[in-house]
Amino acid sequence: MLFREILPTDIKVSWEPEAARTILDSARISDSDDNDENRKDRPFVVGIVGIPGSGKSTSCEILQSLLKSQCMVLPMDGYHYSLETLRQMDNPQDMIYRRGAPDTFDPKALINDLDRILTGKEHTVSIPGFDHSVGDPTPNQHTFVRGQHRIVICEGIYLLHDQDGWEQVKDLLDYTIYIKADIDMCVERLKERNKCIPGYTEEEIEIRCEVVDRRNAETVLRSKTFADHYVQSEAIGSASLSTGKAD
């Protein structure tokens, strides 16, 4: 059975199996309701949103394991502007230091790729990834395969953001889940995780997490009211899938 899969023992599963059932059921309803022959290969797109360090990537790995080969994960991180692009912008030092803020991404490219996936005819769509230790997007790291990937899980912090060019993204998502998490705890987690970012000392990373990542988290927090459902980050405690707006 789909939800009896054994996941790695070092990964703690909480809300994801219930969410996977909801996603699968919703995708089936979407398929049955869609009588348009031109849209029969349109996947069901799920947005997983939360502040930096809230466990989005791990939860998406769990969901993908539960939903198997019919599901692909599309990380928003691949749509960071490259360092070279940031260097050509006004006030490049500030843009690079604030990397991770809404205006340091390319939402138009994400919207374009989502539109290709949703309405295009291409059999495959290549999606960029991001390696934090390298510090730049990696082209063609993920691949959407039409007809195979009935479910696309788009994971990122600004998918529900309603400014800075992100406004159209949420309209391309069929179903959204917001992961609630404590900002202070997530910032502390980022102080460890972000040590791999090149060009900063450990002390500079700690300062940057307080100045940049905390502000970004507050921006994401303001967008939670747009979510369809919300769950509690396992870092704080497990919770079942809840209907309604995040509080």
Average pLDDT, the chain: 89
What is the average per-residue pLDDT within 110-119? 97
Residue 74 buriedness (CB in 10 A; 0-12 / 13-18 / 19+): buried
pLDDT at 37 over 60: no
Specify the higher pLDDT residue, 192 or 198: 192
Q: What is the pLDDT of residues 194-207, one digit of tens each?
A: 888 888 999 999 99
State residue 39's pLDDT score. 59
Asked whether the predicted pLDDT for residue 56 surpasses 90, the reply is yes
Query: Is the pLDDT assigned to residue 65 strictly greater than 90?
Result: yes
Please report the sign of the dihedral spanned by the C-alpha atoms of residue 155, residue 159, residue 165, residue 171. positive
Say what the pLDDT of residue 3 is.
47
6-10, 196-200, 213-217: range with lowest mean pLDDT: 6-10
Tokens 């348009």 label which residue?
Answer: 36
- The answer to whether residues 136 and 197 touch, using CB atoms and an 8 Å cutoff, is no
d(CA 54, CA 36): 38
SS (H, E, C) the chain: CHHHCCCCCCCCCCCHHHHHHHHHHHHHHHHHHCCCHHHCCCCEEEEEEECCCCCHHHHHHHHHHHHHHHEEEEEHHHHECCHHHHHCCCCHHHHHHCECEHHHECHHHHHHHHHHHHHCCCCEEEEEEEECCCCEEEEEEEEEECCCCCEEEEECCCCCCCCCCCCCHHHHCCEEEEEECCHHHHHHHHHHHHHHCCCCCHHHHHHHHHHHHHHHHHHHHHCHHHCCEEEECCCCCCCCCEECCCC
Token pair belonging to 59: 């939860």
pLDDT category, 134, cuts 50, 70, 90? confident
Give all domains of the chain, ordered by start, each with its CATH number: 14-31+41-233 (3.40.50.300)
Query: Is it the case that residue 34 has pLDDT exceeding 80?
Result: no
pLDDT, tens digit (0-9, with 9 covering 90-100), for 72-103: 999 999 999 999 999 999 999 999 999 999 99
Cβ atoms < 10 Å from Cβ of 115: 13
**Beta partners for 126?**
143
